């Protein structure tokens, strides 16, 4: 199908590659460096996620970086030259400077192409919650929505797209500045499993501290059942960072307590995984409330 505008995102929206193809979504790839070598995450097409997380367990050093304005200008300009407008639904501005880079690129390109529209939507999320917001825009476009209508639809769901997640080792969150060194140390000593979530402001926020994996999974499933919008009509995604057996158990809990319309499990990518670490487990969904913290 020929569209009058191009729907773009970044690969921190860790959607299945099939979504990109089926819905004609274009993505700027996000970089990560593994032991000094730079790679770009291409939606699981060219990466063995299990091998990546084993490398992290073995002590490999992984870092990430934001995209700069020149990257966005190079990414978007060919379509602008063709007379196409651009809609970008990007990762949370609270978690990366990438969205700000997109804004800078928009301002500069708008001077060169004053007749073209470049609309930006802050998804206020990352990983599959970001992908779910992108998909809303894609489905609106497929139904014939204008660029303004698709952007408005994405903005309307952005604050409700969230994830509950637990990490296996607080050390990775500590390295990224998500928890203090003291909290990471005592959390590991006491087998505390912190449950975090993506807040309405687009940040990763601590929600609960629970002792033990199974209790943490059960608590996340119960909270998902309580907070999911139209749970029996919902499409949900479980994300796992090389903890497939645990994810299988968790999937059973979600099916029992939530019974969503559809549910699939997928891997966590290396950019997100570098911050949360192996063993991370998440459930991603649209919430029925403004802030999950109010429901705890």
The residue range of the domain holding 52 is 5-158
Report, in angstroms and rounded to the nearest whole number, the Rg of the chain calculated over CA atoms.
19
Domain-ending residue, one of 138, 158, 178: 158
pLDDT digits 0-9 by tens, 5-27: 999 999 999 999 999 999 999 99
Alpha-carbon gap, residue 224 to 238, rounded angstroms: 12
* Same domain flag for 167 and 280: yes
* Same domain flag for 57 and 181: no
* Same domain flag for 104 and 184: no
Q: In terms of DSSP H, where are the helices of 82-212?
A: 98-112, 127-142, 147-158, 170-175, 181-189
Nearest to 128 by CA among 265, 291, 278, 277: 265
Number of domains in the chain: 2
* Same domain flag for 278 and 240: yes
Other residues' Cβ atoms within 10 Å of the Cβ of residue 232: 9
* Same domain flag for 150 and 191: no
Q: Assess contact for 9 and 27: CB atoms under 8 A.
A: yes
Backbone dihedral angles phi then psi of residue 138, each to the nearest 5 degrees? -65, -40
Alpha-carbon gap, residue 31 to 52, rounded angstroms: 14
* Same domain flag for 144 and 190: no
Domain-ending residue, one of 141, 158, 175: 158
pLDDT digits 0-9 by tens, 119-164: 999 999 999 999 999 999 999 999 999 999 999 999 999 999 999 9
Question: Which token pair is 266?
Answer: 């997928």
Q: What is the CATH number of the domain that holds 153?
A: 3.40.50.10170
Partner residues linked to 211 by β-bridges: 192
Largest CA distance in the chain: 59
* Same domain flag for 154 and 165: no
User: How many residues are given for the chain?
Assistant: 296
pLDDT digits 0-9 by tens, 57-67: 999 999 999 99
Domain-ending residue, one of 158, 178, 207: 158
* Same domain flag for 142 and 215: no
Residue 46 binned pLDDT confidence (cut-offs 50, 70, 90): confident
* Same domain flag for 94 and 176: no
Cα separations in angstroms, 96 against 80, 105, 235, 280, 292: 25, 16, 27, 20, 22
Cα 224 from chain centre: 17
């Amino acid at each position: 199908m020929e569209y009058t505008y191009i729907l773009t995102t970044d690969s921190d929206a860790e959607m299945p590659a099939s979504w990109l193809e089926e819905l004609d979504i274009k993505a700027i790839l996000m970089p990560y460096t593994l032991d000094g070598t730079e790679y770009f995450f291409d939606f699981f097409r060219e990466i063995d996620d299990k091998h990546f997380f084993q490398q992290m367990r073995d002590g490999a050093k992984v870092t990430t970086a934001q995209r700069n304005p020149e990257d966005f200008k190079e990414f978007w300009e060919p379509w602008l030259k063709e007379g196409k407008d651009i809609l970008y639904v990007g990762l949370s501005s609270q978690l990366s400077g990438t969205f700000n880079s997109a804004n800078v690129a928009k301002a500069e390109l708008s001077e060169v192409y004053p007749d073209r529209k470049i609309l930006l939507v802050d998804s206020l999320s990352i990983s599959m919650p970001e992908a779910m917001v992108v998909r809303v825009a894609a489905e609106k476009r497929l139904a014939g929505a204008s660029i303004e209508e698709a952007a408005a639809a994405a903005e309307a769901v952005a604050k409700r797209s969230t994830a509950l997640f637990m990490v296996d080792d607080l050390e990775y969150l500590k390295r990224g500045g998500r928890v203090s060194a003291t909290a990471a140390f005592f959390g590991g000593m006491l087998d505390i499993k912190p449950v975090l979530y993506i807040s309405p402001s687009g940040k990763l926020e601590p929600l609960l501290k629970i002792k033990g994996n199974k209790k943490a999974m059960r608590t996340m499933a119960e909270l998902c059942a309580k907070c999911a919008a139209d749970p029996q009509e919902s499409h949900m995604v479980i994300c796992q960072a090389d903890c497939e057996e645990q994810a299988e158990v968790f999937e059973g809990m979600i099916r029992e307590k939530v019974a969503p319309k559809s549910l699939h499990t997928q891997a966590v990518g290396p950019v997100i995984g570098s911050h949360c670490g192996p063993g991370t487990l998440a459930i991603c969904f649209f919430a029925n409330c403004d802030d999950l913290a109010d429901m705890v």
